[in-house]
Structure 1
Amino acid sequence: MKALCNMYEKPSALNKVYLMRRLFNLKMTEESSVTDHINEFNIITTQLSSVDINFDD
């Protein structure tokens, strides 16, 4: 698992910018559920944490 993380979750500048854009442009559509939206938010924040970008509570 560690090898896959090293291959696909590299903390490159391009990857960080991509993840931050995904977070900033995250919008909930009318037909989606709140659970799906929160799940997507949690996935993005976890991916950001894995590339050393952390947010204060």
Structure 2
Amino acid sequence: MEEVVACGADYDSNEHFIASELFVKKEQREMFMILPNNAVKFNWLSRKYKAKYGN
């Protein structure tokens, strides 16, 4: 979760919330970690949140 904050997802953000749900699965953690930079990581989390909650 330190990497989540480092990519710009504040503790009270939608991106941090979705990461806390996704990262119980090893595969999701690994996918996030191989993304090339913080901007891509943040955007990936944003898209995951929007895909699940439609916001």
How does the TM-score come out when normalised to structure 2?
0.35
- Looking at both structures, which has the greater relative contact order when contacts are Cα pairs under 8 Å and sequence separation is at least 6? 1
Which structure would you say has the larger Rg? Answer: 1
Structure number with higher helix proportion: 2
